[in-house]
């Protein structure tokens, strides 16, 4: 199909200093968990975006010197010639598809702990980042930078920029954002210096100016020099000479960078979950930048709609449409727009599992795109799959995220697929969850698969069909994939941190009961030791529905794990604003006569809370009854011509939606495959690298 002319502006070339991007699609630097010890995975992951039509594809954050070490978070390095060769794999992969390659050179300053290198850390005035969450805490406090340190920093940036050029990068960054070293100079809380680098805005911005100058000098006009800068805090600060300090900073630097890459200051606002922020949420902070520079401006905003993208360009907000998450969820987004297939875009749902992968220290995982990170080690392509050797029949039982993903890719491979779903509509757990506050965008998991499945004539979906083992045997499909999901348990939580002790009593509910429409009587206690989104979002939902709600958890924070997905600050805000009372470090030990008994997790001191409905959000168990029954009927399976019965998704092991989709995808890819071909290739540093 031809491209919709409305989207033509997105395909205009953009000059960036000495180089030219072929279009306005710009895959911005983002962490993807692939360090220099995974150079092939990294090259394949970034190269896939170039194959999908992004005009520029950037690296993740790349340390310029051992004094900036973010271990155990996965960061890349460009410290020596071995590192140059490692990154050259990526630039080759990106150039192979005609895109420009950008590199985000980075020094973490007082935000890193140098746990690996054990070098002392440094910040402009010795200020340290005092994070409240364990995974960002450390016991190292930075030293105050002296003029020697400043000269050394400039030399390190220059040397790294020369290595970046050698590695084949076209755009080289100065990174003054997100609490890292150059950003620390910009804010008075970090910077109390009385020398030429502190005090006035002009002085605070000096280091950024000098970093830009040494980078220009190092690349000798052969690469563009980009400035990535966080403007959220600066925009909130009044200035005597401009509408805000952000205006002052941008005005002072003006045309010195070849490209402005503008963003927010902290991960939860820069990369906000869809639960709390809509597409384009950065605009009110960064909308002024283009007015103060003649150089192109790129910014992000979880853009998935081409109309929104065109509007950003037309209204003079951005020149280049930046994307991290949308480019992970669909590396082929630009090509789909170019080919008039925008309805096929696999839209990011804003769940931030990708970010959580970085916090976990592993290669990127994506709920929508199970092939992310698997391009090299499993050879998975996000758009293509090898055809099946036969058109054997496959029955998929259950049309939740696992069943739908499985059916889609089985269908694409050419199998004859039947999907049986007990409910009247597809979607599984998302039928309920997308009705909870802020989770509407998660429906894209179902919507995209629904749309893709409708194009396949070899996949038939039978709604309102709860299959029994007898019926499965009767159908006699060659392969059966059981995607029957999981159920929440009425279990309590022990001091040993185990789910144990069944609590069956009137008024005890689980999320499954609420999904099925169970009546709730207030006051309500939501007891959460699942720690992901469900407990918090249900508490918010019930409170907004008019109930008096208490949220109880043995953890130290509400929805404790959501610190990994950038949701937690806003989860707390949402609970407070909905009037939910928080009780942390507490276990529920009993529920009777209109009250729950809570025990302090550490002292066991008891107290009571009024409660008529207790919603337990804790353990989950697989719905594997069909699997167990079919397992006892091997003879009948063989007689019916059923060659395999396999559990996938939550029916195998309950997890987040990302795990269910991955499980369904993997089953579909691997059905009938030669076991010898199914090895998980292990990446390793290039020879010569330590």
The residues carrying an active-site annotation are 180
Kindly state whether residue 328 participates in binding ligand SF4, applying the rule CB under 6 A. Answer: yes
Binding window for ligand SF4 (CB under 6 A); candidates: 210-218, 324-332, 530-538, 610-618: 324-332
Q: What is the DSSP string of 389-405?
A: SS--EEEEE--SHHHHH
399 binds, among ligand ADP, ligand SF4, none (CB under 5 to 8 A by kind): ligand ADP
Q: Please list every residue from 361 through 420 that binds ligand SF4, using CB under 6 A.
A: 366-368
Of 109, 120, 258, 114, the C-alpha closest to 187 is 109
Q: Contact at 8 Å (CB) between 26 and 233? A: no
354 binds, among ligand SF4, ligand ADP, none (CB under 5 to 8 A by kind): ligand SF4
Q: Taking the complex as a whole, how short is the minimal distance between the CB of residue 566 and ligand SF4, in angstroms?
A: 9
Q: What is the DSSP string of 606-659?
A: EEEEE-SEEEEE--EEE--HHHHHHHT-HHHHHHTT--EEEE-GGGTS---HHH
Q: How many helices (H) and strands (E) does the chain have?
A: 24, 30
Q: Please list every residue from 343 through 372 that binds ligand SF4, using CB under 6 A.
A: 348-354, 366-368
3-class DSSP string for 197-262: CCCCHHHHCHHHHHHHHHHHHHHCCCCEEEEEEECHHHHCCCCCCCCCHHHHHHHHHCCCCCEEEE
Three-class secondary structure of residue 526 per DSSP? strand
Kindly state whether residue 435 participates in binding ligand ADP, applying the rule CB under 6 A. Answer: no
Number of amino acids touching ligand ADP (CB under 6 A): 25
Kindly state whether residue 401 participates in binding ligand ADP, applying the rule CB under 6 A. Answer: yes
Q: Taking the complex as a whole, how short is the minimal distance between the CB of residue 32 and ligand SF4, in angstroms?
A: 11
Kindly state whether residue 121 participates in binding ligand SF4, applying the rule CB under 6 A. Answer: no
Of 396, 549, 544, 509, the C-alpha closest to 462 is 396
What backbone torsions phi and psi does residue 493 show, to the nearest 5 degrees?
Answer: -135, 135
Q: Taking the complex as a whole, how short is the minimal distance between the CB of residue 659 and ligand SF4, in angstroms?
A: 12
Instruction: Tell me how far apart the alpha carbons of residues 474 and 646 are, in angstroms, rounded to a whole number.
Output: 17
Q: Give the residue with the Cβ less far from ligand SF4, 366 or 480.
A: 366
* DSSP letter assigned to residue 380: -
Kindly state whether residue 325 participates in binding ligand SF4, applying the rule CB under 6 A. Answer: yes
What backbone torsions phi and psi does residue 129 show, to the nearest 5 degrees?
Answer: -85, 120
Kindly state whether residue 441 participates in binding ligand SF4, applying the rule CB under 6 A. Answer: no
Kindly state whether residue 623 participates in binding ligand ADP, applying the rule CB under 6 A. Answer: yes
Instruction: Tell me how far apart the alpha carbons of residues 448 and 328 are, in angstroms, rounded to a whole number.
Output: 15
423 binds, among ligand SF4, ligand ADP, none (CB under 5 to 8 A by kind): ligand ADP
Kindly state whether residue 400 participates in binding ligand ADP, applying the rule CB under 6 A. Answer: yes
Instruction: Tell me how far apart the alpha carbons of residues 505 and 590 are, in angstroms, rounded to a whole number.
Output: 10
Question: Which x/- pattern, by CB under 6 A, does the window 449-468 give for ligand ADP?
Answer: ----------------xxx-
Among 94, 399, 439, 478, binds ligand ADP (CB under 6 A): 399
Instruction: Tell me how far apart the alpha carbons of residues 568 and 608 are, in angstroms, rounded to a whole number.
Output: 27
Kindly state whether residue 510 participates in binding ligand ADP, applying the rule CB under 6 A. Answer: no
Kindly state whether residue 86 participates in binding ligand SF4, applying the rule CB under 6 A. Answer: no
660 binds, among ligand ADP, ligand SF4, none (CB under 5 to 8 A by kind): ligand ADP
Q: Taking the complex as a whole, how short is the minimal distance between the CB of residue 396 and ligand ADP, in angstroms?
A: 9
Q: Give the residue with the Cβ less far from ligand ADP, 21 or 445.
A: 445
348 binds, among ligand ADP, ligand SF4, none (CB under 5 to 8 A by kind): ligand SF4
Which residues are registered as beta bridge partners of 587? Answer: 599
Q: Taking the complex as a whole, how short is the minimal distance between the CB of residue 19 and ligand ADP, in angstroms?
A: 44
Q: Give the residue with the Cβ less far from ligand ADP, 422 or 578.
A: 422
Q: Give the residue with the Cβ less far from ligand SF4, 364 or 492.
A: 364
Instruction: Tell me how far apart the alpha carbons of residues 292 and 326 are, in angstroms, rounded to a whole number.
Output: 28
Kindly state whether residue 422 participates in binding ligand ADP, applying the rule CB under 6 A. Answer: yes
Give CA torsion, residues 413, 418, 424, 427, to 10 deg: -30
Instruction: Tell me how far apart the alpha carbons of residues 310 and 520 are, in angstroms, rounded to a whole number.
Output: 46
Distance of CA 580 to the CA centre of its chain: 27
Kindly state whether residue 370 participates in binding ligand ADP, applying the rule CB under 6 A. Answer: no
Q: Give the residue with the Cβ less far from ligand ADP, 528 or 650.
A: 650
Kindly state whether residue 56 participates in binding ligand ADP, applying the rule CB under 6 A. Answer: no
Q: Give the residue with the Cβ less far from ligand SF4, 158 or 306.
A: 306
Q: Please list every residue from 626 through 655 that binds ligand SF4, using CB under 6 A.
A: none
Kind of pairing between the strands at 100-106 and 122-123: unpaired
**Angstrom distances, CA of residue 560 to CA of 123, 131, 134, 159, 528:** 30, 15, 11, 41, 10
Q: Taking the complex as a whole, how short is the minimal distance between the CB of residue 90 and ligand SF4, in angstroms?
A: 19
Q: Give the residue with the Cβ less far from ligand ADP, 349 or 483.
A: 483
Q: Contact at 8 Å (CB) between 636 and 609? A: no
Q: In the chain, what is the straight-line distance between the N-terminal and C-terminal CA atoms, in Å?
A: 49
Among 55, 158, 268, 649, binds ligand ADP (CB under 6 A): 649
Give CA torsion, residues 326, 330, 332, 334, to 10 deg: -20
Binding window for ligand ADP (CB under 6 A); candidates: 219-227, 439-447, 646-654, 681-689: 646-654
Of 634, 587, 623, 33, the C-alpha closest to 355 is 33
Question: Which x/- pattern, by CB under 6 A, does the window 659-688 give for ligand ADP?
Answer: -x----------------------------
Q: Give the residue with the Cβ less far from ligand ADP, 363 or 485.
A: 485
Looking at the chain, how many residues does it have?
Answer: 690
Q: Taking the complex as a whole, how short is the minimal distance between the CB of residue 301 and ligand ADP, in angstroms?
A: 29
Q: Give the residue with the Cβ less far from ligand ADP, 189 or 424.
A: 424
* Backbone torsion region of residue 17, taken as left when φ is above 0, otherwise alpha when ψ lies between -120 and 50, otherwise beta: left
Site residues (vs ligand SF4, CB under 6 A): 325, 328-329, 348-354, 366-368
Site residues (vs ligand ADP, CB under 6 A): 397-403, 420-423, 428-429, 465-467, 483-485, 623, 626, 649-651, 660
């Amino acid at each position: 199909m031809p491209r919709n002319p409305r989207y033509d502006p997105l395909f205009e070339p953009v000059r960036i200093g000495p180089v030219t991007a072929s279009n306005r699609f710009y895959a911005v630097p983002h962490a993807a968990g692939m360090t220099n010890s995974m150079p092939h995975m990294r090259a394949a992951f970034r190269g896939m975006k170039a194959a999908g039509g992004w005009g520029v594809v950037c690296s993740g954050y790349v340390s310029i010197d051992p004094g900036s070490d973010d271990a155990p978070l996965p960061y890349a390095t460009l410290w020596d010639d071995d590192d140059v060769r490692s990154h050259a794999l990526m630039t080759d992969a990106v150039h192979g598809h005609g895109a420009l390659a950008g590199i985000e050179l980075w020094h973490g300053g007082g935000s890193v702990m140098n746990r690996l290198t054990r070098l002392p850390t440094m910040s402009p005035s010795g200020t340290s980042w005092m994070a409240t969450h364990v995974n960002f805490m450390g016991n190292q406090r930075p030293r105050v930078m002296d003029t020697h340190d400043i000269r050394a920093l400039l030399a390190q940036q220059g040397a790294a920029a020369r290595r970046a050029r050698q590695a084949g990068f076209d755009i080289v960054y100065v990174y003054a954002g997100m609490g890292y070293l150059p950003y620390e100079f910009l804010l008075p809380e970090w910077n109390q210096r009385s020398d030429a680098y502190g005090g006035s805005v002009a002085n605070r911005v000096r280091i950024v100016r000098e970093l830009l100058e040494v980078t220009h000098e190092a690349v000798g006009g052969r690469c563009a020099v980009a400035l990535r800068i966080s403007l959220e805090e600066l925009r909130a600060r009044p200035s005597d000479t401009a509408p805000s300090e952000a205006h002052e900073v941008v005005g002072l630097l003006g045309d010195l960078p070849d490209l402005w890459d503008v963003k927010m200051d902290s991960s939860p606002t820069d990369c906000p979950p869809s639960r709390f922020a809509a597409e384009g949420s950065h605009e009110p902070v960064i909308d002024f930048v283009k007015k103060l520079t003649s150089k192109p401006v790129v910014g992000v905003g979880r853009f998935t709609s081409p109309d929104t993208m065109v509007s950003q360009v037309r209204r003079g907000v951005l020149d280049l449409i930046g994307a991290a998450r949308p480019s992970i969820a669909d590396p082929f987004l630009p090509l789909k727009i170019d080919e008039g297939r925008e309805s096929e875009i696999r839209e990011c749902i804003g769940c931030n599992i990708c970010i959580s992968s970085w916090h976990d220290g592993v290669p990127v995982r994506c709920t929508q795109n199970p092939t992310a990170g698997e391009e090299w080690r499993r050879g998975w392509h996000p758009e293509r799959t090898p055809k099946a050797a036969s058109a054997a029949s496959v029955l998929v039982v259950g049309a939740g995220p696992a069943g739908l993903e499985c059916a889609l890719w089985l269908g694409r491979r050419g199998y004859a697929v039947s999907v049986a779903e007990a409910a009247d509509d597809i979607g599984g757990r998302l039928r309920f969850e997308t009705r909870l506050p802020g989770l509407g965008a998660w429906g894209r998991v179902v919507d995209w698969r629904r749309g893709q499945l409708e194009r396949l004539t070899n996949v038939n979906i039978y709604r309102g069909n709860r299959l029994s083992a007898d019926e499965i045997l009767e159908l006699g499909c060659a392969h059966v994939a059981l995607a029957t999901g999981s159920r929440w348990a009425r279990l309590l939580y022990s001091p040993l941190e185990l789910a144990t002790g069944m609590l069956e009593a009137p008024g005890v509910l689980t999320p499954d009961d609420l999904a099925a429409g169970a009546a709730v009587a207030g006051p309500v206690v939501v007891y959460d030791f699942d720690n992901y989104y469900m407990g918090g979002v249900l508490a918010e939902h019930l409170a907004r529905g008019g109930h008096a709600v208490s949220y109880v958890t043995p953890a130290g924070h509400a929805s404790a794990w959501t610190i990994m997905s950038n949701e937690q600050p806003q989860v707390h805000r949402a609970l407070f604003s909905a009037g939910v009372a928080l009780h942390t470090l507490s276990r529920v030990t009993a529920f009777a006569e209109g009250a729950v008994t809570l025990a302090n997790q550490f002292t066991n001191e008891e107290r009571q809370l009024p409660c008529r409905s207790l919603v337990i959000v804790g353990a989950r168990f697989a719905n594997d009854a069909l699997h167990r029954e079919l397992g006892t009927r091997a003879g009948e399976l063989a007689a019916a011509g059923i060659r395999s019965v396999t559990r996938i998704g939550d029916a195998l092991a309950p997890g987040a939606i990302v795990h269910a989709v991955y499980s369904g995808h993997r089953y579909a890819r691997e059905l009938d495959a030669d076991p010898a071909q199914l090895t998980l290739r292990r990446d390793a540093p290039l020879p010569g690298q330590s």
